[in-house]
Structure 1
Amino acid sequence: MDNQEGIIDYVDKIGYPVVIKPVNGKMGRAVYANIKDKEQLMTAISEARLAYDYHEYLVEKYHAGKEYRIYVVDNKVVAVTHRMPANITGDGQSSVKELINKKNSERRKNPYLRRKLIKIDSEVQNSLKKLGYNQNSILKKEERVFLRDKSNLSSGGDPIEAMAELSKEVKQIAVDSLKAIPSLPHAGIDIIVDPDSNKNGVVLEINSTAEISFHCFPVQGEAIDVPKAIIDYYFPESIDKKKANFYYDYNRLLEPLKTGVAEEVKVSKPLIGNLYTRKYIVTGKVNKVGYMNWIKNKALQINLSGYAKKIKKDKVEVFLVGSNKVEVEEFESLCWKGSKRSIVKNVESKQIETGLDKLIKFGFEVII
């Protein structure tokens, strides 16, 4: 990036339009697409130097067309998502700013997009200016305006499930791209499809650590379970097995490792066989006296999962799941005992059907 004249000379050789992006970037940061002339190129270089800390950039030929993220697992396309750049659609009454706010309100309802909102930055303002609009402009009904050239979801793009619309030829391009890296069994392939022929496409990137959440939460189309495809690849012996309703809180498990508090984390053993559940409603002096943490420690000692949750000032709910019926039922005596500072006045035992119809987290947690 320091060799500005070298960049200009190279662009002159490959021709405009071009794309500039950092060698080790992510989430669309510092990516400048569809640069059409030297003036725009100089502006992009200046902005990149001022706003970002990347030192090495790639200069590529820009290809027009629809962009797709194709996820390939073991030579099979398992998901296709069209990533549409940030956009709004007019209603004939609302201003551009109001339409962006409405779009963001919808994005907040999506578990994946709720923090990936459309921000009115210089790129958005420049896009509007090119179209002769500003934040106060009123768009015609059904008029769609694209606010960015790049399609990154982190900057306001829309994930649209698109398996059916992608041609078999382009899907094969994605599969062949993955085959070019023998050590990589699965990856996300970014492809631009030729607007004049849906059988042709240009590979932009092969993402070995591609984000997969947006395949599960599209704004249009069916959710695709990419995590399942990856797990089935690594553990084929479990494909036809009955799945348990238990899960680990992966982020919480990693937290002590990331913060340096611990060098090793041990997780609870998985529960197998018949499962038994019980709920205890405990009344008394059971809050802010170490009662729930005491219950948690006792449950973990005998490999019971569940939670202790505050219901009222003087009431706690204890929910237990275990593979040993006797241990689950006899836990009532521990609920009566409690911590040193607690005073238990009553324990109400409630039987729960053993057929669990909801997900249960492995381990035991305290819910305040």
Structure 2
Amino acid sequence: MQDGNYYYKPSIVGKMDNVYWLRHLSHKVVENAFGDKLCGFTIALEAWRRGLTVTVNSHRASQFQSYVISSAHNSIQFNRARIASLTAKRAIAVLNNKYTTKESLLKEGVPTPLGKKFNFNDPYESVIDFVRLIGWPVVIKPLVGSLGRGVYTNINNDDDLLVYCKYIIEKLNVKNYLIEKYVVGEDYRILANNEKIFAAAKRIPANIVGNGVDSIMKLISVKNAARRKNPNYYNRMIKIDNEVEYYVKNKGYDFDSVLPKDLVLYLRGKANTSSGGDLIDVTDDITPDIAHAAIKAIKAIDGLEFGGVDLLYDSNTGNFSIIEVNSRPQIGHMYPTSGLGRDIPRMLIDTYFPEAPVRHEDINPHFVFDVNKILSPLVSGVAGSITVAPKKNFENFVRRRYLLKGSLSISDNKLSSRLLAIAKKHNVFGSVGKDKEGRLLFCLGGDKLAVSYFINEVCEILSCIKESSKIWKGVIKQSFIVNF
């Protein structure tokens, strides 16, 4: 089911038969928050649209990392998507070490692969002895780390394992690492707290599909170009490294090879979106056993409120294993490669701020706060924190586009100051610029009468006439921006 008022089919991600994103979080709404700012901005935006107070802190402000959401009776600190106020430091300490995470899961009876930690000084023979005990294939991963860095999967022999051991120790400077049994299954990322599932997605390793014409290098370039248009994948490209080179060579190709039409070539073993993987929504398809295990995994980490649970599921046998838990997960489930985008920000505000003054159904989906204006003084060090101006409530919200024609005998600086003053007077938001012929182009939003009064006053003061007036379908920021 795709509700036309809630979802839209984005053309920017390419020809997908089954992909729908959230209309109120369209790529236009979040265009200034692609990549690292996405999690924090979308949660804060939902809160602001719902009448809650949002205060952004200067710590890593360029990534919209630290912020506080408050109501009249409740205040919660967030770190991107981590519910920081409700997440104990002891939980973060456990999750920052993959082996202590494994121990916590095993203690509570949560299925997780057999594994053992090693130090860079341990003789390679001791690693091989352990592998022969648990059996090939195996996975190697740094004891501390995130985003799949230094994780190599499905290793099947001594020589390859030695190569990866040397690489993470000598090139990545890893001091402690984990060897664990490789588990067959599809890679899932589930967002949950200790009571319920928020969303589930299948993660597909970085891949390209042959067309019988283009080289592997060209196909990677085309895939990356499409990823840049996805708010979640924007800075998560398929990068050519040792692992990608290995996967290409292992299939008998080089980067100049032309893949046969419709042939899928996987470029990595791990499926993290940070390393080029795709996200496929499966929220409606996960089994009760998997849902229960994900919630149990959150509960197994003492002091964890909300997180991302990574598991491998074998659909043929029904077996699964939890391989990792993250206290600050990406919430890119809003922008899948295939399937329905899931409204994680709404679910978080509904769950932790049920007293929000505005229902989600009553928000204005065309109105946003200006993230660049909020972050600029924080990034520059001018301010330590900034509270976003309360959301303006409109009696009769309209969006209009006006083109004004006239002889402007005034400098751009004076014109800018005059327009900003008039916009403030009438409480009108939007932007103004000039076209090639020097005509003023306004994209405005606000109360219907206020917008009308504003444009009439501008025409009178500047001796302009309205050459055109039409409905405008773009997003309105709670600011007035002069683009000249």
Q: Tell me the TM-score normalised to structure 2 length.
A: 0.64
Cα distance change on mapping 1:85 and 1:319 into 2, 3 Å: closer
Q: What SS is found at the alignment partner of 1:289?
A: helix
- 2:391 corresponds, among 250, 260, 270, to 270
The 2-side partners of 1:109 and 1:265 are apart by: 29
Structure 1, unpaired ranges of 5+: 338-343
Cα distance change on mapping 1:178 and 1:136 into 2, 3 Å: same
The 2-side partners of 1:58 and 1:301 are apart by: 62
Return 47-56 or 62-71, whichever deviates more. 47-56
Amino acid at match of 2:252: G
Equivalent runs, 1:44-55 vs 2, <5 Å: 44-52=164-172, 55=175
Q: Deviations over 1:277-298 (max 9, x none)?
A: 5666364145633422542355
What is the aligned partner in structure 2 of residue 33 from structure 1? Answer: 153
Alpha-carbon shift at residue 30 of structure 1 (Å): 2.1
The 1-side partners of 2:176 and 2:446 are apart by: 54
The 1-side partners of 2:202 and 2:246 are apart by: 24
Q: Deviations over 1:166-186 (max 9, x none)?
A: 222112111221223464433
What is the aligned partner in structure 2 of residue 4 from structure 1? Answer: 121
* Alpha-carbon contact 1:305-1:361 (below 8 Å) kept: yes
Q: What SS is found at the alignment partner of 1:188?
A: strand
What is the aligned partner in structure 2 of residue 367 from structure 1? Answer: 483
Match status 1:229 vs 2:367: no
The 2-side partners of 1:296 and 1:73 are apart by: 45
The 2-side partners of 1:149 and 1:264 are apart by: 41
Cα distance change on mapping 1:332 and 1:190 into 2, 3 Å: same
**Cα RMSD between the aligned structures?**
3.4
The 1-side partners of 2:237 and 2:413 are apart by: 42
Equivalent runs, 1:159-174 vs 2, <5 Å: 159-174=279-294
The 2-side partners of 1:180 and 1:201 are apart by: 17
Amino acid at match of 1:130: N
Q: What SS is found at the alignment partner of 1:21?
A: strand
Cα distance change on mapping 1:286 and 1:11 into 2, 3 Å: farther
Return 2-11 or 267-276, whichever deviates more. 2-11
Alpha-carbon shift at residue 193 of structure 1 (Å): 0.9
Alpha-carbon shift at residue 325 of structure 1 (Å): 4.1
Q: Deviations over 1:11-51 (max 9, x none)?
A: 63363433333344232222222333443333223322444
The 2-side partners of 1:129 and 1:327 are apart by: 62
Return 322-331 or 113-122, whichever deviates more. 322-331
* Alpha-carbon contact 1:267-1:363 (below 8 Å) kept: no
Higher relative contact order (CA closer than 8 Å, sequence separation 6+): 2
Return 344-353 or 164-173, whichever deviates more. 344-353
What is the aligned partner in structure 1 of residue 219 from structure 2? Answer: 99
Q: What SS is found at the alignment partner of 1:5?
A: coil
* Alpha-carbon contact 1:287-1:310 (below 8 Å) kept: no
The 1-side partners of 2:335 and 2:158 are apart by: 39
What is the aligned partner in structure 2 of residue 341 from structure 1? Answer: none
What is the aligned partner in structure 2 of residue 61 from structure 1? Answer: 181
The 2-side partners of 1:204 and 1:331 are apart by: 59
What is the aligned partner in structure 1 of residue 376 from structure 2? Answer: 255
The 2-side partners of 1:184 and 1:286 are apart by: 60
Q: What SS is found at the alignment partner of 1:150?
A: coil
Amino acid at match of 1:236: P
What is the aligned partner in structure 2 of residue 291 from structure 1? Answer: 415
Q: Deviations over 1:230-255 (max 9, x none)?
A: 22212224446511232223354223
Alpha-carbon shift at residue 92 of structure 1 (Å): 4.4
The 2-side partners of 1:224 and 1:331 are apart by: 39
What is the aligned partner in structure 2 of residue 143 from structure 1? Answer: 263
Q: 4+ residue stretches of structure 1 with deviation over 6 A?
A: 349-353
Structure 2, unpaired ranges of 5+: 1-117
The 1-side partners of 2:452 and 2:211 are apart by: 58
Alpha-carbon shift at residue 122 of structure 1 (Å): 2.2
The 1-side partners of 2:455 and 2:171 are apart by: 59
The 2-side partners of 1:229 and 1:299 are apart by: 35
What is the aligned partner in structure 2 of residue 87 from structure 1? Answer: 207
Amino acid at match of 1:121: D
Amino acid at match of 1:197: T
What is the aligned partner in structure 2 of residue 205 from structure 1? Answer: 324
Alpha-carbon shift at residue 69 of structure 1 (Å): 0.7
The 1-side partners of 2:306 and 2:239 are apart by: 33
What is the aligned partner in structure 2 of residue 180 from structure 1? Answer: 300
The 2-side partners of 1:318 and 1:244 are apart by: 20
Q: Tell me the TM-score normalised to structure 1 length.
A: 0.81
The 2-side partners of 1:69 and 1:217 are apart by: 14
Cα distance change on mapping 1:279 and 1:161 into 2, 3 Å: closer
Amino acid at match of 2:126: D
Alpha-carbon shift at residue 221 of structure 1 (Å): 1.8
Alpha-carbon shift at residue 70 of structure 1 (Å): 1.0
What is the aligned partner in structure 2 of residue 218 from structure 1? Answer: 336
* Alpha-carbon contact 1:75-1:178 (below 8 Å) kept: no
Cα distance change on mapping 1:44 and 1:330 into 2, 3 Å: closer
Which structure has the larger Rg? 1
Q: What SS is found at the alignment partner of 2:279?
A: strand
Q: What SS is found at the alignment partner of 2:208?
A: strand
The 2-side partners of 1:362 and 1:178 are apart by: 38
Aligned length: 358
Match status 1:316 vs 2:440: yes
The 1-side partners of 2:212 and 2:473 are apart by: 46
Amino acid at match of 2:147: M
What is the aligned partner in structure 2 of residue 340 from structure 1? Answer: none
Amino acid at match of 2:220: I
